[in-house]
Structure 1
Amino acid sequence: MQAKKANFFKRYSEARTAWLFMAPGLILLALFTFWPIIYSIPLAFTNYSVIGETKFVGFDNFTRAFSDIDFIASIKNSLLYMIIVPFIQIISILMAILVNRNIAGIKFFRAAYYIPVVTSMVAVSIIWGWLMSQNGVLNYLLMSTGVLSEKISWLSDKDTALWALMFITLWKGLGYYMMIYLAGLQSVPTDCIEAARIDGASTFQIITKITVPLLKPYVFFCTLISLMSAIRVFDEVFVLTSGGPGNATLTSSVYIYQQGFEQFEFGYSSALGLIISLIIMLMSIFIFVFNKKGGVNPY
């Protein structure tokens, strides 16, 4: 009986200590994440005004959203942004395989590939904005090598602006997913790879038949995270183009920000946020269903 009491108090003490350590982070999440999400739900059914009277408008904000040309354009751009997802996953896996070697200086390359991840997106956007300007380094290099015959305003041309932003997002995110895949590669049993080499398997066959299948749980996680990030992309768009030229780079997050903090239509902005959240939830459910059917298996 005394032993049971001692174990109970020990577990209680450990749990209390753990909760105390987590408390600051949980309080910040509650104040700046969970509470805004909860508060935005009833707000979406009002015409909330900071100065005037707030009135309940039912589903008017949602009806307005589906007839809002700018919002429809922002959803299309956000969905188009998902094109980078397969590229970022494939390149990240190849980078992880490349740095998963015991050679001199490999830690330097791992750190170098990860530097863009810890660099502020605002700083990255400003640098790339300078590189991609009409008189920037990119145009100079492409014209010097004969690839271009005239300068291109990469971020001011409606035909290239969104693709330029997608490239910046791709470049910055590679290191993050590379580290996740690298962690997965560390758990891949080396005897399987060695046995395959003894049997005469090529490097390509080892990657496609052994490495990638064993990384499927990591591919599932990274794909889900990158899809959500692509739909919610904000920083680089806001800093470099603010959705322009026209609506060429207008994404859902930027449009929601504009409606809420520039037009002060917080009720309508909340309704738009709920619609985007629903889209993300449906996509997540689809990925989980695909996983359940065997597209991804735990190892």
Structure 2
Amino acid sequence: MSLTNKMVSRRKRRETRTAYAFMTPALIIITVFTIIPIIGSLILMFYNYSVLGETKFVGFQNFISAFQDREFLIAVKNSIVFVVIVPIIQILSILIALFVNRKIPGISLFRTLFYIPVVTSMVAVSIIWGFIFDSHGIINTLLMDLGWITQPFGFLSDKYAAMPCLMFITLWQGLGYYMMMYLAGLQGIPQELIEAAKIDGATNLETIVKVKIPLLKPYIWLCTLNSVISAIGVFDVVFVLTKGGPNNATMVINYYSYVKAFGDFQFGYAAAIGALQAIITSTLSIAVFVYGKKGGMSNNE
């Protein structure tokens, strides 16, 4: 081996060691707080775990109990209902991205302001909207001042209104994130294609429908997949505002698993619920993936 090759090889080894040194802290955190708990839950789901008493192996009994548990089935239904916001948030995000993808005075400030909820903690966002939806909050005060209602409406205490309110909060916070994703996709579209479509006589609407939207398909697929996963895993807004109520109207799988683990101390059962949630999430994600591939969610198709 020549001296030059030795120097190159030595430099590559040094760069590799440096790279691993930078990755090590993150890998340790991921291992301790993600990988080990996942492995532990995979084992725990087959046990009736007791903090003080005897831990017993129960096999698939936790899974059988879950399908016989009315509250769990309600939580599954509510989590799937939460997925309804996915197409709504994607359509609105695309429309907003199309609007902000123009040279308008102050548009950069608008993008920044619209993105602020994304980088704000969901707990903080939930608390703020809790004040807004409160019986003495802005909405009720305004409606009463206008004479539209005679007494405060319980947005978060009414079993028919609570879930739509939580879905609206999630929608409001997520719009900015998906808007930026679609904006990146729009700005990556070659300007020559748009100009060629206009030369051929295409209107602005036809340009959007026949050029921009088809080229956004990979982004639509990715954002939809991410949105479905987030919808099934919703937790913070439920934990802060409704605690699964009223009358289980907002009980979702993630929060129900939390209640069973840290409220009832049924850690084995909670682990089994978590596994079932993972199966549901994977099933819906695969469905989105398959539909996306069939629909040509690629720039090359």
- Correspondences of 1:77-226 after superposition (within 5 Å): 77-144=78-145, 151-226=152-227
CA–CA separation in structure 1 for the residues paired with 2:256 and 2:273: 9
Aligned residues: 299
- Rounded to whole Å, the distance in 1 between the matches of 2:55 and 2:193 is 65
Which letter maps to 1:284?
A: S
Q: Per-residue CA shift, 1:48-86, capped at 9, x if unaligned? A: 111111110000100000000000000000000001000
Task: Work out the CA distance in 2 between the residues paired with 1:140 and 1:202.
Answer: 45
The one-letter code of the counterpart of 1:129 is G
**Cα distance in structure 2, aligned partners of 1:190 and 1:147:** 50
1:60 maps to: 61
Q: Deviations over 1:178-211 (max 9, x none)?
A: 1111111121111111222233322222111111
Q: Residue 12 of structure 1 aligns with which residue?
A: 13
CA distance in 2, matches of 1:289, 1:261: 37
1:167 shift after superposition: 0.2
Match of 1:291 in 2: 292
Distance 1:253 1:287 in 2: 21
Aligned letter for 1:43? L
Paired letter, 1:254: Y
Asked if 1:268 is matched to 2:269, the reply is yes
Distance 1:143 1:211 in 2: 45
Residues 1:14 and 1:56: Cα distance change in structure 2 (over 3 Å):
same
1:28-58, CA deviations, whole angstroms, 9 ceiling, x for partnerless residues? 1111111111110010000111111111000
2:71 paired with 1:76: no
1:21 corresponds to: 22
Please name the residue that 1:49 is paired with.
50
**Offset, 1:269:** 0.2
Report if aligned partners of 2:225, 2:289 keep a CA contact under 8 Å in 1: no
- Residue 251 of structure 2 corresponds to 250
Q: CA deviation at 1:143?
A: 4.8
| 1:116-155: CA deviation from partner (whole Å, max 9, x where unpaired) | 0111111111111111122221123345557656542110
SS in 1 for 2:243: coil
For 1:63, give the aligned amino acid. Answer: I
| Structure 2 length-normalised TM | 0.94
Moved more, 203-212 or 144-153: 144-153
* Distance in 2, Cα, partners of 1:171 & 1:294: 28
After superposition, the CA RMSD in angstroms is: 1.7
1:294, CA displacement in angstroms? Answer: 3.9
Residue 8 of structure 1 deviates from its aligned partner by 2.9
Change (3 A) 1:47 1:223: same
Q: Secondary structure at the match of 1:247?
A: coil
Most deviating of 106-115 and 134-143: 134-143
Q: What's the counterpart of residue 33 of structure 1?
A: 34
| Distance (whole Å) between structure 2 residues aligned to residue 146 and residue 297 of structure 1 | 53
In the alignment, what sits opposite 1:238?
A: 239
Deviations 1:89-126 (A, max 9, x none): 11111111221223332221111001001111111111
C-alpha displacement of 1:291: 3.0
Q: Which amino acid aligns with 1:170?
A: L
Take 2:64 and 2:83, find their aligned partners in 1: how far apart are those partners? Answer: 26
Q: Give the AA of the match of 1:214.
A: L
- Structure 2 residues without counterparts, runs of 5 or longer: none
* Identity level (%): 54
Counterpart of 1:73, as a letter, is I
AA matched with 1:55: K
Q: Normalized against structure 1, the TM-score is what?
A: 0.95
Report SS of the residue matched to 1:295.
coil
